[in-house]
Amino acid sequence: MEKPVEPPGDDFKIRCPRLGHQIFFSYCIIESDRNPCFKILDCWHQYFDVETYLKSHLTTEQWDKLVNRPPKPKVLSLVELIEQAKKRKKEAE
């Protein structure tokens, strides 16, 4: 049975290994500076054909950046996520 190419809707969540709670695919696609999370392929591959989806929805530069970037240290990633959350909270107020 082939996997669907389109991602599940926002009524479907999976546990994020980085954040430790349930998230939607729509969060992962714009997680870091409006770019996909570096773990998006690892986390979503069992639910749909995420690679085909991303290749058709990202620019060549975004795709290359996603698959060829060295991983950041975990502490740096956590600090960046905290700063992004603070920024989103401030914008929502």
Within-domain flag for 67: yes
Within-domain flag for 7: no
Within-domain flag for 2: no
pLDDT score of 23 more than 90: yes
Within-domain flag for 39: yes
The whole domain housing 41 covers 14-92
Within-domain flag for 1: no
Within-domain flag for 5: no
Within-domain flag for 47: yes
| Angstrom distance (rounded) from CA 67 to CA 1 | 26
pTM above 0.75, yes or no: no
Chain-centroid distance, C-alpha 21:
14
Number of domains composing the chain: 1
Looking at the DSSP assignment, which residues form a beta bridge with residue 32?
Answer: 35
| CA dist list (Å): 70 to 2, 14, 62, 65, 79 | 31, 24, 14, 9, 17
pLDDT, tens digit (0-9, with 9 covering 90-100), for 52-63: 999 999 999 999
Residues 6+ apart with CB under 8 A from 77: 18
